[in-house]
Structure 1
């Protein structure tokens, strides 16, 4: 029996429709081509990621994947590890010529706050500076024939340091608050509320009647000046915030005499 052109077209469209349905609804056990297997794997990974995102928070998921990566040992597929093996490194032994170096990789420390990168190191050095100052006070000091002149010169220097300290305290408080630091690292790093709105001359007179602090004005200013330079690359004498420590080297120096 002869087949008309219309019947041939109907059969062709029917076969094409069946092929499309088969491609879109292939079960894992019936994958026939590499392309179908690739699309199926992509869809499976996508569904798994969507399921994890719904059940686990993003931060928790990142932590989980990070931990999985850290627990997974590095193999020879890693280029750095392959180079170490070519140079004679054996897994489990220390690095170096005599295998006495580090065995475990450097640990990862995540930074989640907005504090300056040099702040922690600066505070450690400040603690050492304070200990050094206190130790020097315990040492016996013999009399000097220039004691009077030295005392007068020290008083004049402290007056200038007192003014510089007040300016530095205001700058330190502003920069700390901008970096989400809600309280000073040392009580004298920020100005007192009672003297913040006073003139520098009145603040100087008020300071003279206070009880003597453990740290003198000069010592307080020295430590605060160090904190500002190390943490925020700020020079109180230049009145400038430099871009970084290398840029800060353009400053004449950390002392008043340098300027």
Structure 2
């Protein structure tokens, strides 16, 4: 028992302090059993105050939104005939649905109302509306740019495919023309595998244009009544003109 009393006696440091200091320390905080001073935590009070302010702000914004919706709903309905302003206009000769003014050149619809909650001037756009407008414009610019890129890509791919087809058809025309000039008529049958193999072959260094292809096609038609895309030689020019759909590959 004496040992426990001594421990308690030595653990209570306030007994060694003057009365004034011990009283002031007791007001500022409390001492634990180990002799350490415990200061009350004020973070809980700050958190509660902050939560209360946020709750009040949300409540105020919700109330403003409800008031704005109510105002817009009232604007959607026509002015009742019991309205004092409507009665005054009617006494001055106004008829519902007609324009204002002696000659009827004034406004037909009333001036629109724009609800503003900010503190900016009348000419200043609402920050929320301005941000929405900027985001919309940004999205539209991005969509236009993407569409332009896709269009350019498609055009380039189409031009490359067209150039390859010109080279392939020109080589076919040269081969057929060489055989026809030697009096050996050979019908050229178009198969998917052969066309694919010819397209995959490396192009020659010599540039072959669409005009070169047209010249060789016309020579085959005029001199030998042969159509490269029909793949056959006609007996007469009249038969060629009547049965062949055209000169180019697109017409076939």
**Same-fold call, TM > 0.5?**
no
Q: Which has the higher contact order (CA 8 A, sep 6+)?
A: 1
Larger Rg: 2
- TM-score, length basis structure 2: 0.32
